[in-house]
Every structure is written in structure tokens, then in C-alpha cells.
């Protein structure tokens, strides 16, 4: 039993270290951009794979622009991207995010930004960094924003990394 637990622990450590992570700071996400390794693929296959990924991941709610030979920009929505609690109620926010991707050799470079926040289909006049106090700590009542949005960004980035890595092998 100890042997299996040891193997599981090693596997979990390797997987968790391989995952792309961004931290929300008062200035935005850090590190931004991030780099990820790619198996060999052509620029055309990279662009096609990225377009297929966002269509599947966002269920068709995305816009692709600024397509070049080796780069593109994606704007998409994510429901329940982050939440906070107030007076016993939980409020989930939808976000519109922008990903700029480019291929440089056997790496991709990805920058991530939240461009809009929605509450009940209403665009808010605030940005994700507005949940911070001037001293860099989260505002009172919004402590769940940081871990919940970081988890969402991790899901997006890891989904992309897994998809494009597997797509390269096809």
C-alpha cells in the first residue's frame, strides 16, 4: 500500500508542477505572458489546433482575430469565472477574456487578460484588479475572488496546453 501511495504522490507532484499557473495581482496576472512547450508542429497546424480548441472549450462563444502566420487573438466568455459571498449569498460572475497566442519554435507564448466582467448579464464598470485595496490585499468581502479566478484561469490554460499537445501528435 505504501508503494502505491508513493507512486501516486510522485505522479501528483509531477502533474501539479507541469500545470500552467498565473497569480492575480493588483496589476493583473503574473507571470504574463507564459511559455509552454510544444511537440513539433507546423505553424498552420498550431493555428488550426488553437482554433479547434477554443471552439470546443467555449462552445462556440468566441471570436478569433489578428490571425497571422504563427499567432492569433481569442476573445471568449467564461460563466461562473469567479465568485464572492455577501450576507450569506454567493455571487458568480461571468467574464470575457482575451488570450494572445503565438508560436515560437517548439514553444507557445500565451498572454491572458480579463477584459469584461458581467453580473446577471449586465456589464460591470469594474475590472478584475478593482477587487484589490491600494495596499495589494483583497477588499473586505472579496477574499474568494482571487482563488476562484486563479482556479478558472488555470482550467483554461491547462485545457489549452493538453489540447494543443495532444493535437500535435495527430
> So what's the pLDDT on residue 15?
42
Mapped to the 3 state alphabet, what secondary structure does 26-87 carry? CCEEECCCEEEECCCCCHHHHHHHHHHHHHHHCCCCEEEECCCCCEEEEEEEEEEEEEEEEC
Sorted by where each starts, the structural domains of the chain and their CATH numbers stand as: 29-168 (3.30.530.80)
Mean pLDDT of the chain: 88
Cβ–Cβ under 8 Å, residues 90 and 142 = no
Band of residue 50 on the pLDDT scale cut at 50, 70, 90: very high
Closest alpha carbon to 128 in 153, 157, 110, 109: 153
pLDDT digit string (tens) for 86-100?
Answer: 888 999 999 999 999
> How confident is the model at residue 168, as a pLDDT?
87
Q: 120 falls in which pLDDT band (50, 70, 90)? A: confident
Alpha-helix residue ranges (DSSP H) falling in 2-41: 2-18
Under DSSP, is residue 131 helix (H, G, I), strand (E, B) or coil?
helix
**Residue 38 and residue 22: Cα distance in Å, rounded?**
19
User: Is it the case that residue 70 has pLDDT exceeding 90?
Assistant: yes
Q: What is the average per-residue pLDDT within 98-111?
A: 96
Beta bridge partners of 85: 90
What pTM did the predictor assign? 0.85
| pLDDT tens profile 8-29 | 334 443 343 345 789 999 999 9
Pairing outcome for strands 71-86 and 62-65: antiparallel
With CA atoms as reference, report the closest residue to 95 among 36, 35, 159, 148: 148
pLDDT greater at residue 14 or residue 122: 122
**Dist. CA 170–CA 168, nearest whole Å:** 6
Among 6-10, 28-32, 72-76, 123-127, whose mean pLDDT is lowest? 6-10
Residue 19 has a pLDDT of 56
Answer for the pair 100, 73: CB distance below 8 angstroms, yes or no: yes
Amino acid at each position: 500500500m505504501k508503494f502505491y501511495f508513493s507512486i501516486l504522490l510522485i505522479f501528483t507532484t509531477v502533474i501539479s508542477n507541469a500545470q500552467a499557473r498565473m497569480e492575480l495581482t493588483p496589476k493583473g496576472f503574473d507571470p504574463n505572458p507564459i511559455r509552454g512547450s510544444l511537440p513539433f508542429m507546423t505553424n498552420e497546424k498550431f493555428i488550426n489546433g488553437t482554433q479547434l480548441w477554443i471552439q470546443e472549450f467555449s462552445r462556440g462563444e468566441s471570436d478569433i482575430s489578428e490571425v497571422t502566420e504563427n499567432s492569433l487573438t481569442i476573445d471568449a466568455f467564461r460563466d461562473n469565472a469567479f465568485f464572492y459571498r455577501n450576507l450569506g449569498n454567493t455571487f458568480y460572475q461571468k467574464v470575457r477574456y482575451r488570450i494572445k497566442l503565438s508560436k515560437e519554435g517548439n514553444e507557445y507564448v500565451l498572454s491572458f487578460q480579463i477584459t469584461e466582467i458581467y453580473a446577471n448579464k449586465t456589464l460591470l464598470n469594474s475590472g478584475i484588479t478593482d477587487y484589490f485595496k491600494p495596499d495589494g490585499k483583497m477588499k473586505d468581502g472579496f477574499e474568494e475572488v482571487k482563488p476562484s479566478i486563479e482556479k478558472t484561469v488555470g482550467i483554461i490554460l491547462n485545457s489549452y496546453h493538453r489540447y494543443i499537445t495532444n493535437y500535435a501528435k495527430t
